[in-house]
């Protein structure tokens, strides 16, 4: 296949992907990512592994 045909084919596929908008099932997406309501507190499971930035700046200022 020549470069012109190949480029035209890629352009066609890219255009189809760009303008393709499937119906999004928002309830399934909500279940998948684990819905958090406004009243729920977010828990940072990585917070204990790294010191806070504020702690580092206070230590540097006091030294």
**Res 7: pLDDT:** 94
Query: Higher-confidence residue: 8 or 47?
Result: 8
- CA 29 from chain center: how many Å? 13
Alpha carbons 63 and 50: distance in angstroms, whole number: 20
Reported as a pLDDT band with limits 50, 70 and 90, residue 44 is confident
- pTM of the prediction? 0.33
Q: Indicate the SS3 state at residue 45.
A: coil
**Res 61: pLDDT:** 65
27-43 average pLDDT score: 73
- CA 32 from chain center: how many Å? 14
- Whether the predicted pLDDT of 1 surpasses 60: no
């Amino acid at each position: 296949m020549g470069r012109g045909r190949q480029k035209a084919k890629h352009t066609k596929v890219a255009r189809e992907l760009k303008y393709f908008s499937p119906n999004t099932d928002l309830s399934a997406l909500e279940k998948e990512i684990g819905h958090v309501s406004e009243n729920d507190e977010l828990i940072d499971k990585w917070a204990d592994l790294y010191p806070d930035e504020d702690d580092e700046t206070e230590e540097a200022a006091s030294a």
